[in-house]
Amino acid sequence: MKIVDTYPEILILSDSMKNGFNMSIWECYAAQISKLLPQKLLNDSCSYNFNQEVLPIVQQALNNTNKLEETHNSFLSATQTLQQRFTGVFGTDLQADIILYLGLCNGAGWATTLDGKKAVLLGVEKIIELDWCNEKRMASLIYHELGHLWHDMAGTPHPGLTKQGEKSIWQLFREGIAMYCEQLLCGDFSYYHQDINGWRNWCESNKIVLSNEYLRRVDAGESTQDFFGDWCSVLGHSDVGYYLGCEFVKWLVKKYSLIALANMGIDVVSIELHKFLK
């Protein structure tokens, strides 16, 4: 693994943008990481209202030097023995760049490819907004994204899905595997980095309600996006699909190995998910 730390450059951005965000300066900064990165991030965020949904979060992060420093220190600690931890758990190495950077609210963590290589992009602006700045939450966030990359490496190619119900099944399964990998690397099968203000206890108490609603939407072909992402919510709680997906995978590993799950096709996943949710 290659650790890419752009914190010194973020501090320069912070100093140069005290009077307001400058897109040209940001683009030059992002292009230093990769020439492809500025356009990749702009394309991903083009559906957002920049002035209302992106700019305030970015500016808040740049102005909060204490949180920037905490996030950076947590990044350094979390990545110090990251490769050894990953190899120890999964018995294999993973060629990937782990990049701490300032994005455009593209996500606290993003498992993707950059310059033809696997990459985990860690956006300081979203990490600070969500208050995932301490070492444990930072490490878990990285573990989650590495779980996605491990799934891609160990499993079959992502199925080309067109039906909304199948997309919802696959998203829950995929996020569940990443959450399970996160807990494996944490060494704690009760830990969720989203667990703030009683989030996990609420999910546990409402597991049947969440299961019924997810199943209803799957069978009706309705969107399940409300279950994923801090900007969405179900019954007033965000990210509940990550909990439900992880519980699904924990149920599956009683019957299948993790490698078998990584190579499981959508048809089997669908059958098993219907059993689980019912």
DSSP assignment letter at 231: T
Res 233: pLDDT: 83
pLDDT at residue 57 greater than cutoff 90: yes
Helix (H, G, I), strand (E, B) or coil at 186: helix
How confident is the model over 211-227, as pLDDT tens digits? 999 999 999 999 999 99
Res 160: pLDDT: 80
Res 195: pLDDT: 87
Q: Is 104 within 8 Å of 58 (Cβ atoms)?
A: yes
pLDDT at residue 102 greater than cutoff 90: yes
Reported as half-sphere exposure (CB side, CA atoms, 13 A), residue 177 has a value of 25
* DSSP track, 240-252: HHHHHHHHHHHHH
Q: Is 161 within 8 Å of 266 (Cβ atoms)?
A: yes
pLDDT at residue 231 greater than cutoff 80: no
Q: What's the rounded mean pLDDT across residues 13-35? A: 93
Q: What is the mean pLDDT of the chain?
A: 94
Confidence of residue 146 (pLDDT cuts 50, 70, 90): very high
